[in-house]
């Protein structure tokens, strides 16, 4: 499948296409975990669109094989039929593997790649980060979103993970870099602010976390927020973003404060902890509470315990948001088991 832009036009495409809130979609598996579950994946794509997300990250960090991941992308693209943007998750074991799967994902219909760095990549300088990223971008034609975040361990080189200096060099040299998912320096907003001030006129700058993004969108013309686990809240985050785009700030803030109990519950799960890994099991459970498939995922997977599930469920109840009344054991089976 051909990309809808060439390298020289990728930034114009991104400025036009990256508008709204993008979510994260985690693949569902068959009950025996031997394969991915097409019916469940298609169910989730339909619900993403129903909830108002402009697109979603096809997450790669749940022990999918390379071939399974490409099939996952193919299924999501086919089910979305242009109604949602499928974002490739370039998060595999090595740089060469990332390049290989990214090329295949683009052929399968993904239109944007979020670049992650493998755990074995331990740069000794910012030049090493530049070289890794440059090699990836030069080897693929798909549009790329840079991702400074306190997961990679780059803070020993610069507190913002990817410094603005490094990102400026990369944007100068790689025309297919079209966006930055600006989580550097979190939980503070300094990384986003510096990225916005330095780069927003050249590429799309995203703040993915709703508790930061929605208030900031009332102060700066933020056109894109993605990608994160906003499906936990159902349709409320896209609705808040739409209110902000229409300058209906009072309505937006009323919804923002309404969801605060759920937001606080989600924050207690955390994305990092001592493992420096996103808790994908918790994210899948959060999605299940709002109608998505749920179901088992492969090891290695973080365990989700009863008190954590109760906390996440009660957060939605306290916020007056939609929440499944099915018992938690149903999550581990999934709504469309195969």
Nearest-5° angle of CA 51, CA 110, CA 243?
30
Q: Assess whether pLDDT exceeds 80 at residue 70.
A: yes
The residue-averaged pLDDT of 211-227 equals 98
Instruction: Give CA–CA dist 207/222, Å, rounded.
Output: 8
Q: How many CA atoms lie within 13 A of 105 on its CB side?
A: 33
Which tokens hold the place of 338? 């195969």
Q: Assess whether pLDDT exceeds 90 at residue 269.
A: no
What's the pLDDT band for 271 if we cut at 50, 70, 90?
low
The residue-averaged pLDDT of 203-232 equals 97
Q: What is the pTM of this model?
A: 0.97
pLDDT for residue 221: 98
């Amino acid at each position: 499948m051909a990309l809808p832009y060439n390298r020289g036009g990728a930034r114009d495409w991104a400025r036009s296409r990256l508008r709204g809130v993008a979510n994260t979609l985690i693949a569902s598996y068959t009950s025996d975990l031997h394969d991915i579950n097409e019916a469940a994946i298609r169910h989730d794509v339909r619900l993403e669109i129903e909830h108002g997300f402009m697109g979603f990250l096809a997450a790669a960090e749940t022990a999918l094989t390379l071939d399974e991941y490409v099939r996952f992308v193919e299924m999501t693209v086919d089910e979305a039929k242009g109604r949602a943007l499928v974002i490739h998750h370039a998060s595999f074991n090595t740089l060469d593997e990332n390049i290989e799967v990214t090329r295949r994902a683009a052929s399968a219909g993904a239109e944007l790649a979020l670049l992650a760095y493998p755990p074995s990549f331990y740069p000794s300088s910012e030049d090493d980060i530049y070289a890794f990223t440059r090699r990836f971008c030069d080897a693929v034609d798909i549009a790329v979103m840079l991702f400074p975040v306190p997961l990679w361990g780059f803070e020993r080189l610069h507190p913002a993970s990817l410094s603005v200096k490094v990102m400026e060099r990369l944007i100068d040299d790689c025309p297919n870099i079209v966006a930055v998912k600006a989580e550097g320096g979190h939980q503070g907003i300094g990384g986003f602010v510096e990225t916005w001030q330095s780069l927003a006129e050249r590429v799309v700058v995203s703040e993915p976390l709703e508790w930061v993004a929605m208030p900031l969108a009332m102060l700066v013309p933020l056109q894109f927020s993605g990608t994160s686990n906003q499906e936990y809240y159902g349709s409320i985050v896209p609705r808040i973003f739409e209110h902000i785009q229409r300058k209906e700030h009072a309505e937006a803030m009323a919804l923002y404060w309404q969801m605060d109990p759920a937001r606080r519950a989600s924050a207690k799960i955390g994305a990092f902890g001592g493992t420096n890994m996103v808790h994908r099991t918790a994210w899948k459970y959060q999605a299940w509470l709002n109608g998505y498939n749920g179901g088992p995922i492969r090891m290695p997977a973080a365990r989700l315990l009863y008190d954590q599930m109760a906390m996440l469920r009660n957060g939605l109840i306290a916020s007056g948001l939609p929440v499944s009344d099915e018992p938690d054991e149903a999550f581990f089976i999934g709504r469309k088991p195969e």
